Amino acid sequence: DTAVSQTPKYLVTQMGNDKSIKCEQNLGHDTMYWYKQDSKKFLKIMFSYNNKELIINETVPNRFSPKSPDKAHLNLHINSLELGDSAVYFCASSQAREGNIQYFGAGTRLSVL
């Protein structure tokens, strides 16, 4: 049973389209994150949610809208996709009592054409 699962694994789309990536964790963690990994493999935080509440938004364009329907799910919707959005997006989760160890999903590779 995968601890943090993301769908889809690959996403190829045209500029201007709207797309969503879904993430689910079955670890019972309170906090979930979205990270972006660029073409040079650099990982940077985008959003952080704790118990469904947005905690951190790292100056991400408002075309990106995370939604957490419950603490086990954190989805990422992207409007009006641009070429520069092409990246690998990782979902992660953590629990404070575990010392902030973050468990990552397998990633979603987004290619905007």
Partner 1 sequence: AQSVTQPDIHITVSEGASLELRCNYSYGATPYLFWYVQSPGQGLQLLLKYFSGDTLVQGIKGFEAEFKRSQSSFNLRKPSVHWSDAAEYFCAVGAPTGNTPLVFGKGTRLSVIA
Q: Which residues bind partner 1 (CB under 8 A)?
A: 4, 30-31, 33, 35, 40-45, 48, 50, 55-56, 58, 90, 92, 94-96, 99-107
Distance CA 107, CA 80 (A): 21
Identify whether the C-beta of residue 33 lies closer than 8 Å to the C-beta of residue 91: yes
CB closer to partner 1 out of 90 and 112: 90
**SS3 call for 83:** helix
CB closer to partner 1 out of 101 and 113: 101
**CB of residue 109 vs partner 1: minimum separation in angstroms?**
8
